[in-house]
Amino acid sequence: MWSRTTKPEPSDIDHARRLIKITRTLFAGVALAVAITTEAANRVPPKPDWTVNDMPSQEGRIVLITGGTSGMGYEDALALSRAGAEVIIAARNAERGQQTIERIRQLVPDANVQFEAVDLANLTSVRNLATRLNERLARLDVLINNAAIMAPPQRSTSADGFELQLATNYLGPFALTGLLMPLLRESDDGRVVSLSSIAASRGKINFTDLQAEREYNPYATYAQSKLAVLNWAFELQRRSDASGWGVRSIAAHPGVAVTELVERGPGLDSQFGVKWAQDRDEYHSAAQGALSTLYAATAPEAVGGAYYGPIGEEEKRGPLGIAQTPEAATTRADAGELWQLSERLTGVAYP
């Protein structure tokens, strides 16, 4: 060290600066860890009997739902329309989209609901949707990343050459969310609600074969895509907090709900489909499965960075609560690596 009367050497100054920088980084890391631990401890679970009747008015709110023409996406759109939100349904099939709008308006005559075409497995289509919305909306209050496919028997690829489940369930939503972040930041209470699955607990991010080119297992690949969603949802909240975006990122899962997912994926005649059909009376309806998403999208007390879902037997059904986070979704290094890889693959960098 040097005295006040001794001129410090440049190397001494550099060394001191490095020490100060390291100290600040350590303090920041400790503060962030304490904040995360405190937030997790202070999370109040939803009341177990929460229903759509507990939703606050959504008048003046603008909500985009991917895959909103059937299943839980449709139930989201219906419930949010009843609550007064302006609802935009984004899906591939325009004919089904128009049928869905008519169906909702029969039940909610004054519903403010629209359709936008998008194929999440096509990044050009994703960019086109984002461009249209950025041009005509002043803000976006809620983005519900609901659309998904499950376990097609044969490996196939997206328009951009990615494995189809990874593209549809994760890379497309990742890109869409990043492109719509400017609109979400304009909201006083911007939220991104991303649908994971109890299958994520069986998943692993295989960075050496992310696209399942060497080995394709339909169910393992599905589980990986849903684990990727969960890692991304948590990392999005961390980055929103760190950068002051003011957007809540919340994950949800429906348990096991009776939708078209199995029929369109492995098929009802598959071993999985036969077992699912036998047990379907024990599972949630699509409306019940949608409750965790609707809570995350509307409840004032829903916490950014939380994971909501049914908490009954194996989380397949039961009352609403805070879902168990798979250990594979708790490694921040993996989440950071996945984020960087996703930006490279999609060409979308968050602001």
Domain map (residue ranges) of the chain: 8-42, 52-346
User: Is the confidence at residue 32, as pLDDT, over 80?
Assistant: no
User: Band of the pLDDT at 42, cuts 50, 70, 90?
Assistant: low
Average pLDDT over residues 116-128: 98
Question: Which residues are within 8 A (CB) of 15 and not within 5 positions of it... i.e. 6 or more apart?
Answer: none
What is the token pair recorded at 195? Answer: 């649908």
Please tell me the pTM assigned to this model: 0.85
The pLDDT assigned to 13 comes to 42
Q: 314 pLDDT band (50/70/90 cuts)?
A: confident
When pLDDT is cut at 50, 70 and 90, the band that residue 23 belongs to is very low
Model pLDDT, residue 44: 83
pLDDT over threshold 70, residue 176: yes
Range of lowest pLDDT (19-28, 102-111, 154-163, 297-306): 19-28
pLDDT band at 255 (very low <50, low <70, confident <90, very high): confident
More confident residue, 184 or 351: 184
Q: Where residue 7 falls among pLDDT bands split at 50, 70, 90?
A: very low
Whether the pLDDT of residue 110 is over 60: the answer is yes
pLDDT digits (tens, 9 = 90+) for 58-72: 999 999 999 999 999
56 Ramachandran zone, left/alpha/beta (phi>0; psi -120 to 50) = beta
Mean pLDDT of 40-49: 75
Which range (20-24, 148-152, 292-296) has the least confidence? 20-24
Chain segment 10-20, per-residue pLDDT in tens? 445 444 444 44
E strand intervals along 271-327: 307-310, 320-322
52-346 is classed CATH 3.40.50.720: yes
Is residue 351 very low, low, confident or very high in pLDDT (cuts 50, 70, 90)?
confident
Residue 24: pLDDT band with limits 50, 70, 90: very low
pLDDT band at 279 (very low <50, low <70, confident <90, very high): low
Instruction: Cite the active site residues.
Output: 222
**Residues with Cβ within 8 Å of residue 291, at least 6 apart in sequence:** 50, 51, 52, 320
**Which segment of 161-175, 216-230, 256-270 scores lowest on mean pLDDT?**
256-270
Per-residue pLDDT, 213: 97
Instruction: Determine the average pLDDT of the residues in 254-260.
Output: 72
**Count of CA atoms in the C-beta half-sphere (13 A) of 47:** 9
CA dist list (Å): 239 to 27, 170, 236, 249: 18, 18, 5, 10
Contact call for residues 265 and 239 (beta carbons, < 8 A)? no
- Answer yes or no: is pLDDT of 156 > 70: yes
Mean of pLDDT over the chain: 86
Q: Determine the pLDDT at residue 206.
A: 97
